[in-house]
Structure 1
């Protein structure tokens, strides 16, 4: 197993970690024509409770 020969400096560690960026959640309009609220992709709409044209959860 590979083992580092020297400890990585704090500067190099922070420089490497500076590239770890989280991507924002993509919001799309709900497919329900009456709703059209923005919602995360591939998730049931929290406003109307529909997913792929079907009622899957009770609306909040």
Structure 2
């Protein structure tokens, strides 16, 4: 494994880390209720994913959860 021979200066370290930026989440609209949601995920407003509804899957059954 390669190990640097010299200590990297603060300016070099900070300029390298300046590219570590967080990007905003990509949002799409739900085809059923038109609310914004993450792509490839169930809608948090209506619980639909593509043509299926998953609202019942979020509720615990028989007191579990």
The interval holding the TM-score normalised by the smaller chain is 0.7 to 0.9
- Kindly state the Cα deviation for residue 19 of structure 1 after the two structures are TM-superposed: 0.5
Q: Report the TM-score when normalising by structure 1.
A: 0.84
CA RMSD of superposed structures (Å)? 1.4
Q: Report the TM-score when normalising by structure 2.
A: 0.79
- Kindly state the Cα deviation for residue 21 of structure 1 after the two structures are TM-superposed: 1.3
**Bigger relative CO (Cα 8 Å, ≥ 6 apart):** 1
| Structure 2 gaps, min length 5 | 59-65
**Would you say how many aligned residue pairs link Structure 1 and Structure 2?**
57
Q: Which has the higher strand share?
A: 1
Q: Which has the higher helix share?
A: 2
